[in-house]
């Protein structure tokens, strides 16, 4: 396999973007990525998207997006893995370049959730229809069950959950593209409206529109074309039982652990080598479970580590410097690629007030549903 690097990145702001359609969002992000890469042609396009059909009535996004980018003719495929669609699109693009099949490939993600659809019902299609959704559970409900299991097994507290939201809003306040740029206090989180006990409004990621795109090419070409290429050192993916009730321990995200171990193995690195990470905090409890599954903290100690500031900017292992899904926003199909963009900016030294000093190795973790699929990538400054 060839070494692969990212040479261009672009994303729209995240939020309620009523003035932009699904295709507008994609084109804005893709053009920014192409401009950043300094190229005007592509050999292939991957479009991560969870549910264009249900959110806006549009399927068959591959050719639609290539056409509106002015690139009809280029092979272009939609990749779907629920909220992990963006991460899965990056993985497909990575292997296409690594295999030698293509030189310049766009990995992108896009979602338009604010367009009148019943968002909670659409998102629930990523859970087990027969064993979970039929009985009325929603995504906030599933993560509330995970939170209860974690609290019962490990003694995680409501203050631990609030600390994730407080930290990620503080990071998001520094990100011009974030949906919510206001800081919140523990008291505000604990007093926000109840969504699914114990998860409150400020423990949840919002409903968002947005797109993100990166350009990949072989590392040797990247060195000619870019002042600051970012090499992809590892890619891991895994699946787990779809229904929470079918997992041995609902508080342990086994697909995240497997995907992480596969990425660490490919990169020949371990959790202690990572300087900064973007993880899938769709709900505050998810961030705690994920950083345990990636072995950034011991099992059961992520809450205490978060409250101690270990995962904040300036801490031992800064997590979600972009603001995470919580504050930056979560247009589901775009999220996995937007996470990569934050790491690219960090490794290029272009993250402004969010910059982690001397960041050379970064990680992204993206997941679908309540953790039934997970994708992990590891990146290195070249
Ligand atoms: N965090 C912070 N503020 C939020 C927010 C969030 N997640 N969601 C909405 N708000 C704000 C809105 O901006 C609005 O503020 P305003 O009154 O100042 O304008 C207010 O809260 C009410 O917004 P509204 O859109 O009516 O909220 P809602 O009750 O319809 O939705 C949630 C709130 C939490 C239910 C919704 O955001 C949600 O479903 N989130 C989870 C999404 C999800 O499951 N993603 C997939 C994960 S796997």
At 104-123, the pLDDT tens digits run 999 999 999 999 999 999 99
Find out whether the beta carbon of 208 lies less than 6 Å from any atom of ligand 1: no
Find out whether the beta carbon of 282 lies less than 6 Å from any atom of ligand 1: yes
**Residue ranges of domains in the chain, CATH in brackets:** 4-118+208-225 (3.40.47.10), 134-204+233-381 (3.40.47.10)
pLDDT for residue 148: 98
Separation of CA 22 from chain center: 19
Give the three-state DSSP class for 212: strand
Spacing, Cα 207 to ligand 1 middle (Å) = 6
Give me 103's structure tokens: 């030189």
Spacing, Cα 140 to ligand 1 middle (Å) = 11
What does DSSP assign to residue 83? B
Q: Which residue has the tokens 């993880």?
A: 279
Beta strands in the chain (DSSP E): 4-11, 44-48, 76-79, 105-112, 194-196, 199-200, 209-218, 230-239, 276-278, 361-368, 373-381
The residue whose CA is least distant from atom 5 of ligand 1 is 206
Spacing, Cα 378 to ligand 1 middle (Å) = 31
Q: What is the pTM of this model?
A: 0.98
Distance CA 265, CA 297 (A): 18
Find out whether the beta carbon of 202 lies less than 6 Å from any atom of ligand 1: yes
- Backbone phi, psi, residue 222, to 5°: -60, -40
Rg of the chain over all Cα atoms, to the nearest angstrom: 19
pLDDT for residue 144: 98
Closest ligand 1 atom to residue 332 Cα is 46
Active site residues per annotation: 83, 330
Give the three-state DSSP class for 176: coil
pLDDT for residue 196: 98
Listed as ranges, residues in the chain with pLDDT below 70 are none
Spacing, Cα 283 to ligand 1 middle (Å) = 12
Closest ligand 1 atom to residue 16 Cα is 13
Find out whether the beta carbon of 123 lies less than 6 Å from any atom of ligand 1: yes
pLDDT for residue 157: 98
The residue whose CA is least distant from atom 47 of ligand 1 is 282
Contact of 146 with 286, CB cutoff 8 Å = yes
Distance CA 301, CA 303 (A): 6
Find out whether the beta carbon of 23 lies less than 6 Å from any atom of ligand 1: no
pLDDT for residue 370: 98
pLDDT for residue 124: 98
Of 50, 207, 210, the residue with max ligand 1 atoms within 8 A of its CB, to mutate for a pocket test, comes to: 207
Closest ligand 1 atom to residue 370 Cα is 48
């Amino acid at each position: 396999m060839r070494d692969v690097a990212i040479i261009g990145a672009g994303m729209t702001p995240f939020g309620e973007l009523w003035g932009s359609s699904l295709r507008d969002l994609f084109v804005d992000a893709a053009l920014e990525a192409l401009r950043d890469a300094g190229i005007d042609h592509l050999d292939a396009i991957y479009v991560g998207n969870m549910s264009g059909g249900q959110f806006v009535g549009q399927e068959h996004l591959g050719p639609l997006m290539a056409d509106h980018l002015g690139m009809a003719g280029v092979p272009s495929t939609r990749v779907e893995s629920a909220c992990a669609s963006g991460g899965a699109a990056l993985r497909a693009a990575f292997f296409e370049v690594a295999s030698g099949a293509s030189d310049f490939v766009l990995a992108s993600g896009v979602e338009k959730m604010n367009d009148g659809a019943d968002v909670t019902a659409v998102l629930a299609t990523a859970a087990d229809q027969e064993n979970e959704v039929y009985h009325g559970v929603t995504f906030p409900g599933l993560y509330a069950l995970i939170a209860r299991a974690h609290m019962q097994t490990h003694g995680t507290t409501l203050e631990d959950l609030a600390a994730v939201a407080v930290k990620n809003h503080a990071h998001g306040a520094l990100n011009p593209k974030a949906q919510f740029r206001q800081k919140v206090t523990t008291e505000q989180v604990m007093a926000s409206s109840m969504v699914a006990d114990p998860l409150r409004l400020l423990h949840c990621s919002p409903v968002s529109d947005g797109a993100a795109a990166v350009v990949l090419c072989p590392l040797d070409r990247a060195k000619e074309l870019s002042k600051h290429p970012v090499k992809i050192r590892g890619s891991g993916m895994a699946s787990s039982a779809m229904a929470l009730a079918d997992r041995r321990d609902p508080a342990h995200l086994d697909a995240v652990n497997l995907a992480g171990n596969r990425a660490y193995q490919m990169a020949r690195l371990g959790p202690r080598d990572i300087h900064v990470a973007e993880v899938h905090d769709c709900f505050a409890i998810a961030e705690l479970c994920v950083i345990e599954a990636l072995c950034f903290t011991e099992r059961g100690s992520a809450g205490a580590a978060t409250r101690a500031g270990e995962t904040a900017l300036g801490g031992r292992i800064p997590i979600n410097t972009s603001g995470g899904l919580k504050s930056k926003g979560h247009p589901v199909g775009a999220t996995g690629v937007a996470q990569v963009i934050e790491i690219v900016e960090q490794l290029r030294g272009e993250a402004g007030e969010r910059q982690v000093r001397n960041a050379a190795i970064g990680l992204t973790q993206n997941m679908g549903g309540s953790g039934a699929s997970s994708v992990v990538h590891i990146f290195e400054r070249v």
